[in-house]
Amino acid sequence: MENSGPNIDQQAKELESLMARVRDLRWQFGDETYDLYLESVYDASQKIVSAVVKKPGETRALKLETKIDRVVTSKKWGFPIMFLLLAAVFWFTIVGTNYPSQWLSLLLVDTVHPWLKSMAELTELPFWISGLLIDGIYLTTAWVVSVMLPPMAIFFPMFTLLEDFGYLPRVAFNLDNVYRKVGAHGKQALTMSMGFGCNVTGVIASRIIDSPRERLIAIITNNFSLCNGRWPTQILIATIFIGSLAPSYLGGIVSAASVIAVALLGIFMSLLVSWGLHKTVLKGEASSFSLELPPYRPPRIKTILYTSLIDRTLVVLGRSVMFAIPAGMVIWLSVNISIDGKSLAFYLTEWMDPVALFFGLNGIIFLAYIIAIPANEIVLPTILLLTVLGSSVSGQEGMTMISANSALETADILKAGGWTLLTAVNLMLFSLLHNPCSTTIYTIYKETKSLKWTMYATFIPIVLGLVVTFLVARIWEIFG
């Protein structure tokens, strides 16, 4: 290990002259070194492989794969199949969510909550401790779990199934034409699909795109994929306000269709914004696009269940619960700290109401979105809690009233709070088009290492959301 002094000097000098020689050679070879070397490598591997591998011609398995590929990427069937699969996944999620959500809410909100309250009374806990812990933190968490767990537990396994089978790259193949036209990378279809699960995963998955320009576009537009945190809001509001417009036997399909429409609007918006970025701040030509279409593999049920339920569902749920706890505290405090007999939340919503109404929303929704910046999934509980408060004077009562929770009663609560069909539609739109949750924002910053692009990713959707809701409100006014 030990080198004597002069030896090192000598070595450094020789290294320097070696480097000079290397540079001379490099000027001779130019960029050809790589080509020449790689050709030798391919040559060698060709020789080895032809010596050890015996391959039949087209086997049946291979022919079948080719056939499947021809169908799922064909002009005629490619897009319909894609749309049907997407719709099927969403529809199953929406329809399948209904009952488990009610059971969970029956258990966590209707049974455990009163029990906790009575325990608190028995042990004579001070009003503010039991309020903060049980009505604030526990109730919000219970809400988040009962509203979020079922759709995720249904959506993630189905999505993982498609992923494991090998269908996602075919989606990217089909959609690349569109992405190329808006100046984005074809693999953005993959990151967008990941975003339907969770935008954080979508943003991280954008690493598969090599070109920095196109990767930024993929990261900034990922928020337009309606993530799992926002599904519950969409589903509940669609069921209450839109599904109920149709005859009851069509209710499920109509509400599912409206949620799918919102998701499709999200895809459209992501393309639109990609195009806008490509034309303005992220100008440039499409970079190289090469995508491997892997062979179809029979799905492995055990792995899929593990990945989707433990790795995805629980991780995402865990994160939401982490954020539900402080949010629950904030909600409870804003409801229970009063000045001149009126709560803090009341002042805030009063103050924001005129502006919010102008966008076809209301002050409560605005306030809820501010409280819910850490996690989208707590938007709905916050809205409900604050709305209930509006209709009753005491925050204490309001908090407990929410326990009576079924779609019908929720509808009554909201309608009593002055909600109209316009409010519902605009809430669905605003839920799609607003800033990403704080975890996503943080991830975007980590991935881009740039405050500027993080700001773009945060504010583009919010501005779009305000513009869209504003326009819808105006159009509504003209025709309504």
Rank residues 8 and 245 by Cβ distance to another protein and give the closer one.
Answer: 8
Residue 361 tokens read as 């929303």
* Calpha distance 313→195 (Å, rounded): 14
Between strands 338-339 and 342-343, the pairing is: antiparallel
Site residues (CB under 8 A) for another protein, limited to 10-29: 11-12, 14-15, 18-27, 29
The answer to whether 168 contacts another protein (rule: CB under 8 A) is yes
3-state secondary structure (DSSP) of residue 156: helix
Residue 84 tokens read as 């049907």
Q: Least Å distance between CB 153 and another protein?
A: 17
The answer to whether 472 contacts another protein (rule: CB under 8 A) is no
Q: Least Å distance between CB 191 and another protein?
A: 11
Q: Which of 9, 35, 121, 397 binds another protein (CB under 8 A)?
A: 35
The answer to whether 52 contacts another protein (rule: CB under 8 A) is yes
Write the interaction track for another protein spanning residues 171-190; mark x where CB under 8 A is met and - where it is not.
-xxx-xx--x-----x---x
Q: Least Å distance between CB 24 and another protein?
A: 7
Count residues near another protein (CB under 8 A): 98
Question: Directed axis angle between helix 248-279 and helix 78-105, to 10°?
Answer: 120
Q: Which of 5, 6, 56, 247 binds another protein (CB under 8 A)?
A: 56
Are 363 and 349 contacting, i.e. CB atoms less than 8 angstroms apart?
A: yes
Candidates 107-115, 259-267, 307-315, 379-387; binding stretch for another protein (CB under 8 A): 307-315
The answer to whether 284 contacts another protein (rule: CB under 8 A) is yes
The answer to whether 75 contacts another protein (rule: CB under 8 A) is yes
Rank residues 53 and 339 by Cβ distance to another protein and give the closer one.
Answer: 53
Candidates 295-303, 319-327, 399-407, 452-460; binding stretch for another protein (CB under 8 A): 295-303
Q: Least Å distance between CB 190 and another protein?
A: 6
Site residues (CB under 8 A) for another protein, limited to 327-366: 358
Give 480: exposed, middle or buried? Use CB within 10 Å, 0-12, 13-18, 19+: exposed
The answer to whether 122 contacts another protein (rule: CB under 8 A) is no
Amino acid in the structure at residue 13:
K
Handedness of CA 67, 72, 73, 78 (dihedral sign): positive
Q: Least Å distance between CB 321 and another protein?
A: 21
The answer to whether 7 contacts another protein (rule: CB under 8 A) is no
Candidates 73-81, 136-144, 434-442, 449-457; binding stretch for another protein (CB under 8 A): 73-81
Site residues (CB under 8 A) for another protein, limited to 210-239: 210-214
Nearest partner of 155 among 225, 68, 203, 253, judged by Cα: 225
Are 172 and 190 contacting, i.e. CB atoms less than 8 angstroms apart?
A: yes
Candidates 100-108, 284-292, 378-386, 427-435; binding stretch for another protein (CB under 8 A): 284-292
Rank residues 207 and 342 by Cβ distance to another protein and give the closer one.
Answer: 207
* Calpha distance 239→251 (Å, rounded): 7
Name every residue whose Cβ is closer than 8 Å to that of residue 205 and which is 6 or more positions away in sequence.
190, 191, 194
Determine the distance from the C-alpha atom of residue 432 to the mean position of all C-alpha atoms in its chain, rounded to a whole number: 10
3-state secondary structure (DSSP) of residue 343: strand
The answer to whether 303 contacts another protein (rule: CB under 8 A) is yes
The answer to whether 207 contacts another protein (rule: CB under 8 A) is yes
Rank residues 1 and 339 by Cβ distance to another protein and give the closer one.
Answer: 1
Strand partners, 343: 338
In angstroms, what is the C-alpha Rg of the chain? 28
Site residues (CB under 8 A) for another protein, limited to 400-429: none
Site residues (CB under 8 A) for another protein, limited to 314-333: none
* Calpha distance 20→141 (Å, rounded): 66
Handedness of CA 93, 94, 99, 105 (dihedral sign): positive
Q: Least Å distance between CB 56 and another protein?
A: 5
Q: Least Å distance between CB 362 and another protein?
A: 16
The answer to whether 132 contacts another protein (rule: CB under 8 A) is no
State phi, psi for 172 to the nearest 5 degrees.
-60, -40
The answer to whether 9 contacts another protein (rule: CB under 8 A) is no
Dihedral class, residue 74 (left if φ above 0, else alpha if ψ from -120 to 50, else beta): beta
Nearest partner of 431 among 377, 471, 390, 374, judged by Cα: 377
